Amino acid sequence: MTRRVYLDWNATAPLRPEARDAMLAAMDVAGNPSSVHSEGRAARAIVERARAQVATLCGCKPGEVVFTSGATEAASVLADVALCGAVQVEDTAHDAVWARHDPTRTGGRSTTLAMGLANSETGVVRFPPEKGDDGWSCGDAFAQSLFLDVTQAVGRIAWSFHWSGAEMACLSAHKLGGPKGVGALLIRDGLDFGGLQKGGGQELGRRSGTENVVGIAGFGAACAAAQRDLDHGAWDRIEKLRNILENALASQSKETIFVGIDAPRLPNTSCFATPGWKGETQVMQMDLAGFAVSSGSACSSGKVKVPRVLRAMGLDDRTAEGALRVSMGPSTTEDEVLRFAETWLKHEKKFRQRAA
């Protein structure tokens, strides 16, 4: 039996061995990280080690990392921000951020711009980092106070919370190869913040509730491994695989449109649309053939609607409905990419014959 090929890394990355090992070790620690006895201090040490690992990858201070259940919970802080001023959410933001859209609120503080650094459906990077004489920066792009969703970007491209200009940012462990159900809100040091969740005062009162020690341990280990991949150029190889895929498809499918191909993109993401050929149909056909891909963000998959992000980018409904997303990771091979291209092209040919 042919081994299945996983090409849906933007939905979730496979659990890294380093994260699994860290989680298994944390399961043997009995203490509550808020307890002062030896067992509690051992649990606290796991949490703080992971906090430092997340901070290293994100280019921030450990004290600026607040552990949450994921990026969606972290984005809920925008509801409180909206009480103090206007929140402007970009059309291409992920649903977790878009759901906080409330243009009617006004107040004393300046407008907060909420946006995704990299789009999960197309891979397009908004305001890509630039390296100048003084190091990396995002230029003068962010004149407003800023909330960044870096869930897809962190660990895949150069990015640092400190030089990004953002006041807050959110990310999830499972996009990095960590466990599902844990993430972080980054809050710039000194920023007045009321807190995500009231209760026992954990996370310095910013997010109460006993910490998910096992999940946090896996998150930290995944961040450390992601930093290693960045340092060793793993994503340069992945970008070459994406280009091999797109060249193979473009050479034989003249009507297929590659979304964002002329814009800065994540190295692992290819979004292409074939007008008239439903993305959901393509996903099912590829699944039966042994390939896991998607027709858009996992949070919006299964909903019968024209993709909001693609419409915002100017695609007509017929084209947007024909979009497919292929996203790769460090374990993806050239053989897998070429096998997918061959299979997809066979189905595309059949679609053309039926449509003729």
pLDDT digits (tens, 9 = 90+) for 107-162: 444 567 778 899 999 999 987 666 655 555 555 455 456 888 999 999 999 899 98
User: Would the pLDDT of 1 be above 80?
Assistant: no
Q: Are residues 249 and 202 in the same domain?
A: no
Q: What is the pLDDT of residue 107?
A: 40
Residue 332 sits in a domain of what CATH number? 3.90.1150.10
Q: Are residues 82 and 38 in the same domain?
A: yes
Torsion of CA 233, 329, 177, 261, to 10 degrees: 90
Q: Are residues 304 and 291 in the same domain?
A: yes
Tokens linked to 251: 């050479």
Average pLDDT over residues 26-31: 96
Q: What is the pLDDT of residue 304?
A: 45
Residue pLDDT, tens place only, 165-178: 888 999 999 999 99
Q: Are residues 215 and 321 in the same domain?
A: no
**What is the residue range of 308's domain?**
5-14+233-355
Q: Are residues 188 and 309 in the same domain?
A: no
Q: Are residues 248 and 206 in the same domain?
A: no
Average pLDDT over residues 42-47: 97
Tokens linked to 313: 């980018």
Residue pLDDT, tens place only, 238-273: 999 999 999 999 999 988 999 999 999 999 999 999
C-alpha angle 258/151/268, rounded to 5°?
A: 35
Residue pLDDT, tens place only, 303-341: 445 567 788 787 889 999 999 999 999 999 999 999 999
Q: What is the pLDDT of residue 4?
A: 96
Q: Are residues 123 and 261 in the same domain?
A: no
Residue 314 to residue 124: CA distance in whole angstroms? 14
Q: Are residues 106 and 161 in the same domain?
A: yes
Average pLDDT over residues 51-71: 96
- Give me the active site residues, please: 299
Average pLDDT over residues 52-72: 95
Q: Are residues 110 and 124 in the same domain?
A: yes
Burial class (CB in 10 A: 0-12, 13-18, 19+), 231: exposed
| Domain count along the chain | 2
Q: What is the pLDDT of residue 13?
A: 98
Q: Find, among 126, 122, 91, 121, the residue nearest to 260 by Cα.
A: 122
DSSP string, 318-347: HHHTTEEEEE--TT--HHHHHHHHHHHHHH
Kindly list the distances between the CA atom of residue 137 and the CA atoms of 46, 127, 165, 266, in Å, as whole numbers in the listed order: 32, 10, 8, 17
Q: What percent of the chain has pLDDT over 90?
A: 63
Residue identified by tokens 């695609």 is 315
Residue 178 to residue 57: CA distance in whole angstroms? 13
Q: Are residues 114 and 177 in the same domain?
A: yes
Q: Are residues 30 and 102 in the same domain?
A: yes
Q: Are residues 142 and 250 in the same domain?
A: no
Decide which of 206, 230, 254 is a domain's last residue: 230
Residue 254 to residue 242: CA distance in whole angstroms? 18
38-58 and 213-231 helices, crossing angle to 10°: 30
Kindly list the distances between the CA atom of residue 213 and the CA atoms of 35, 54, 75, 240, in Å, as whole numbers in the listed order: 13, 14, 21, 37
Decide which of 211, 230, 249 is a domain's last residue: 230
Q: What is the pLDDT of residue 143?
A: 46
DSSP string, 285-329: HHHHTTEE-BSS-TTTTT--S--HHHHHTT--HHHHTTEEEEE--
Task: Give the 3-state secondary structure percentages of the chain, helix then strand then coil, rounded to 5.
Answer: 40, 20, 45
Residue 53 sits in a domain of what CATH number? 3.40.640.10
pTM of the model: 0.88
Q: What is the pLDDT of residue 280?
A: 95
